[in-house]
Structure 1
Amino acid sequence: MRARGVVLQGVLAAAGLAAAFFVWQREPVGAPGEVVVLDAPKRALERVRYEDASVQVELFREGTKDGELWLRLGAKRELRANEIAEQLFARFAPLLATRSLGVLDAERLAEVGLKDSHRKLAVKLSSGEHTFTLAASSSGWGSPYLRREMDGHVFLLPPSLLPDLENAAHRLVDRTLHTFGASEYDALTITVGSTSRTFLVRARAQRPAEFLPREAPDSPDETAWKWHERVWLLSPAQTDFLGRGEVPPGGEPRESFRVEYLRGDQRLGQLTVARGAGGEFYARTEHTAGWAKLPPWADSIVLEAEKVATGR
């Protein structure tokens, strides 16, 4: 009897282990990549917020559902979001996972990095906000587990979904300076202090455009064209963009020169370059949320601006 009881207990234990393994390895709800974590139409999505012990990131629409997408870093810094951010934002409604693991016990939650994790995700819809816990950083983004707080269900997210949020300052900032292209303006005015000079822009097939001073339209100014090519190619680093309402260290920078772009009588936009209190240079345009710090070589552009504006 004793031997038979031992055998029976062994069989029951094996069956229990098999059942547990089956639950752990069970097939996801739906096909891989199609498990629905949050079912919502894209038009209902208003805000996505990610935070951990050191990072706070929000993506949100300003105004209507078709309004511009903005990126908030920390509590206050607001920047325009780029196309990568637009694509990322759209993936949260509906929010899909590659696998559903159901409700896990404390031991399993610890194994996948969800027990006591400080990483949080919140998705705000027009109907309300939904909150989630993300796997702790020790797990790495290679295994992005997520726990739905509403019912405790755990999901495995695609590995490409969350890294951009964690590195938002480098990946999601719009570095575009202008909303128009190089072929869309036909005149520009360069201003340094109280001196201004206007150039007409004449496009040429297979050759660079010509800058024609308004006061001498038959005499192309190649020096001005070459100078402006460097101005047009200015490209601040993503981390050097200041947010809405932010002022550079030392206060508002002092304008060094300004370029205004025209198409006929329509003003398309402008670029203002200014010197900060520490001697560094900043740029601001019709599209930027605020000032953007320029690379060190921008000082040579500033030095040549007066020559171009005066024609001497």
Structure 2
Amino acid sequence: MKARDLALQGALAAVALVAAYLVWQRAPTGAPGDVTVVELPSRALDRVRFEDEARFVELFRDAQDRDLLWVRLGFKPAKPIQPEATAMASDGGTPPGDGGTAAPVAPPPPRELRANEVALKLFPRFAPLRATRSLGVLDAKKLEEVGLTTSQRKLTMTLGGKVESFTLASTTGGWGTPYLRRESDGQVFLLGPALLPDLENASSRLVDRRMHLFDLGDFDAVVISSGGSSRSFTATGKAPNPVALAPEESPDKPDEFTRNWHDRVWRLVPLDLLGRDEQPVGGEPTESFRVEYKRGGKALGQLTVARGPEGFFARTEHTSGWVRLPAGVDPLASEVARVTTPVSSASGP
């Protein structure tokens, strides 16, 4: 009888130990850890969109090449303006007679730009989407405390044709704590601090601003054209050392003037990037000069510099469209005639 009691107590103790182990192994809701918010592989992710009350940014795959990412930057329509305040400020306090609202100004079309290496690394981190903590479904008071009641900040993900939407906590004076609420079931999660700031600052952090994918000296020939004239040069050397340019007809006589001119052209940095298929104000700019790069007789890339009503623009084999250039391009456009004109041999009587 005593042996039977001991066996029973031992069995109960074993069951209790197993149960305790299972409870200990299970991460409780609200505990720190790696919580899955969206369980889908990164290859299923098509688009990530972040928006606030004024603007939006989207990271999305190219329709023809899913390994190529684009960044779409845009502004949301402004809210209708109540005219009383503006009218009273402008006419001494007399509001308009009809008491209506002023029509909001339509936002400019969004810009589509190439995504950079930072964006390529950020995009797959959204699928599967993971959080550091699950808070469950919160009551109205708790939602207000964490900034989810009236927030206009949204995160939308398109995965395999299915849309998953979240509300992001509002912020005051910075990003603060990145809470998000899953709209499909009301579950609230705490994201890690490093996932969202790149989307917030997408124009400076996620856009590829490079003019070329090759470096100075990766080419062995340069063709410079302007106004119907064209001249070819051989290129020798590699950065960080100077890259010499010599006329194709005199490869043993480097042209110092052309080298200096080309160095200034190579260092041109975009002031503003226009989107894919976007035209500068005033329409297609007029080409001023073009520089073509070759290696082993094959085209490597090109730079076209053009003049528009609002200054100079450029585009290359890599840019998504035209880019606005800073001031100071006029001398380059003026000196290109000298670069493309062969030096005549001096002849005497």
For residue 218 of structure 1, the aligned residue among 247, 252, 258 is: 252
With 131-140 and 269-278 compared, the bigger mean Cα shift is at: 131-140
How far off is 1:68 after superposition? Answer: 0.9
Between the aligned residues of both structures, percent identity stands at 55
Equivalent position of 1:244 in the other structure? 276
Q: Which residue of 2 aligns with 1:102?
A: 136
> Cα deviation per residue 1:202-257 (whole Å; 9 max; x = unaligned)?
227984232110121121111111211111121113xx100011111111111111
Distance change >3 Å, CA 283–CA 28, structure 1 → 2: farther
1:56 equivalent in alignment to 2:56: yes
Moved more, 203-212 or 139-148: 203-212
Q: 1:142 and 2:142 equivalent?
A: no
Q: Which has the larger radius of gyration?
A: 2
The equivalent residue for 1:45 is: 45
Change in CA separation of 1:28 and 1:294 when aligned onto 2, cut-off 3 Å: farther
Which deviates more from structure 2 when the two are superposed, residues 67-76 or residues 297-306? 297-306
Q: What does residue range 71-220 of structure 1 map to in structure 2 within 5 Å?
A: 71-74=71-74, 76-138=110-172, 140-203=174-237, 207-220=241-254
Aligned length: 283
Residue 321 of structure 2 aligns with which residue?
A: 290
Gaps of 5+ in 2: 1-26, 75-108, 344-349
After TM superposition, list the pairs within 5 Å mapping 1:292-311 onto structure 2. Answer: 292-311=323-342
- Given that 2:70 and 2:113 are in contact with CA atoms closer than 8 Å, whether structure 1 keeps it comes out as yes
How far apart, CA to CA, are the structure 2 residues paired with 1:29 and 1:90?
25
What are the superposed Cα offsets for residues 41-83 of structure 1, whole Å, 9 maximum, x if unpaired? Answer: 1111110011121111110010356431000112531110111
In 2, distance between residues paired with 1:274 and 1:64?
A: 29
Paired residue secondary structure (1:196): strand
Q: Which amino acid aligns with 1:141?
A: W
Map 1:269-288; keep pairs closer than 5 Å. 269-278=301-310, 280-288=311-319
Q: For residue 174 of structure 1, what is the amino acid of its counterpart?
A: D
- Alpha-carbon RMSD across the aligned residues, in angstroms, is 2.0
Partners of 2:286 and 2:305 lie apart in 1 by: 8
Gaps of 5+ in 1: 1-25
Q: Do the aligned residues in 2 keep the contact of 1:123 with 1:129 (CA within 8 Å)? A: yes
The 1:65/1:122 distance shift into structure 2, 3 A limit, reads farther
In 1, Cα distance between equivalents of 2:247 and 2:332: 19
Equivalent-residue separation in structure 2 for 1:161 and 1:246 (angstroms): 30
What is the TM-score with the length of structure 2 in the denominator?
Answer: 0.76
Question: Does the CA contact (< 8 Å) of 2:279 and 2:322 recur in 1?
Answer: yes
Q: Is the Cα–Cα contact under 8 Å of residues 290 and 305 in structure 2 kept in the other structure?
A: yes
Aligned residue for 1:138, secondary structure, equals: coil
User: Does structure 2 conserve the Cα–Cα contact (< 8 Å) formed by 1:273 and 1:283?
Assistant: yes
Task: Please tell me whether the aligned partners of residues 46 and 65 of structure 1 are also in contact (alpha carbons under 8 angstroms).
Answer: no
Alignment match, 1:263: 295
- Quick one: which amino acid aligns to residue 56 of structure 1? F
Three-state SS of the structure 1 residue aligned to 2:327 is coil
Q: CA 1:171 to 1:207, structure 2 compared with 1: closer, same or farther past 3 Å? A: closer
Per-residue deviation, 1:311: 4.3
Paired AA for residue 309 in structure 1? T
Distance in 1 of aligned mates of 2:249 and 2:124:
51
Cα distance change, pair 130–194 in 1 and its aligned pair in 2 (3 A)? same
TM-aligned CA deviation for residue 139 of structure 1: 7.4
**How far apart, in 2, do the equivalents of 1:304 and 1:195 lie?**
13
Distance 1:206 1:260 in 2: 21
Match of 1:306, as an amino acid? Answer: A
Deviation beyond 6 Å, 4+ runs, structure 1: none
Contact 1:200 1:211 in 2 (8 A): yes
**CA offset digits 1:14-67 (Å, max 9, x no partner):** xxxxxxxxxxxx9656753x2211121111111001112111111001035643
Question: Which residue is 2:105 aligned to?
Answer: none
Letter in 2 for 1:255: E
| SS of residue matched to 2:208 | coil
2-structure distance, mates of 1:139, 1:111: 16
